[in-house]
Amino acid sequence: MPITEFASLQFKASRGLSEPDILARFQKLSAWQSECSGYPLLFFTNPKAPSEIHLITGWESVEAHETWIMGERNQELLRVFMPFINILGMVHLDIDFERIPKDAESMTCLKFEEGEGVEGQVARAIAEHVRCAEIGQNLQDDCHEVYVFTQPGNTTGLDVEPTDHMELQRVHL
C-alpha cells in the first residue's frame, strides 16, 4: 500500500506563487518528484494562512521518500527554494494515497495529537459524524498524531477536538 506524504511550507516575506520564478520552481518540483515517486504532487493553500502551501503526494514507502530526500535532485530543489520558503513540517501517513481524491478542489485537514489510543478515538468519532474521510497515523516511531482529510464542512459534531484545523484550497500549477 502506498503511503501519503503531507508537507507544509511557508513563503518568506511576501513571496508567493504569483512570482513567475517561484511558480517555475514549484512546477519543476512537481515534475521531478512525480517522476521519482510515480504519484502526482497536489498543492493546496490555506486561505486563513495565505503564506502557507501544503503538498500531498504518494510514495511506495517511507524509505522510497527518504531516498528521494537525500537524492541529488531534491537537494538541488532545497537549495533553490531556501531563499523563498521555510519548511514548517512533513509527515508520512498510513493513508493509501490512491484513496486521496486527486480532483478535489478543496478539503479539510484535521490534525489530532494526544497519547496512545488517539487513532481509535478519532476513528470512532469520524465514523459517527463524518462521511468520506481518510484517516491516517503519522508513521514516525513514538508519534501519536492522527490526520484526517475530508470534504469541507463535513466535520461538525466531533467529540474529539483537533489540535489543528485547515481548510485547504487546491492550487493548479
pLDDT at 156 over 70: no
Q: What is the pLDDT of residue 131?
A: 57
Task: Pick the more confident residue, 130 or 73.
Answer: 73
The pLDDT > 90 percentage for the chain reads 65
Residue appearing with cell numbers 521531478 = 32
Domains of the chain with bracketed CATH: 3-97 (3.30.70.100), 103-168 (3.30.70)
pLDDT tens by residue, 9-63: 999 988 999 999 999 999 999 999 999 999 999 999 999 999 999 999 999 999 9
For 49-113, give the DSSP string. Answer: EEEEEEEEEEES-HHHHHHHHHSHHHHHHHHHHTTTEEEEEEEEESS-GGGS-TT-SEEEEEEEE
Q: What is the pLDDT of residue 161?
A: 77
Number of other residues whose CB lies within 10 A of the CB of residue 132: 11
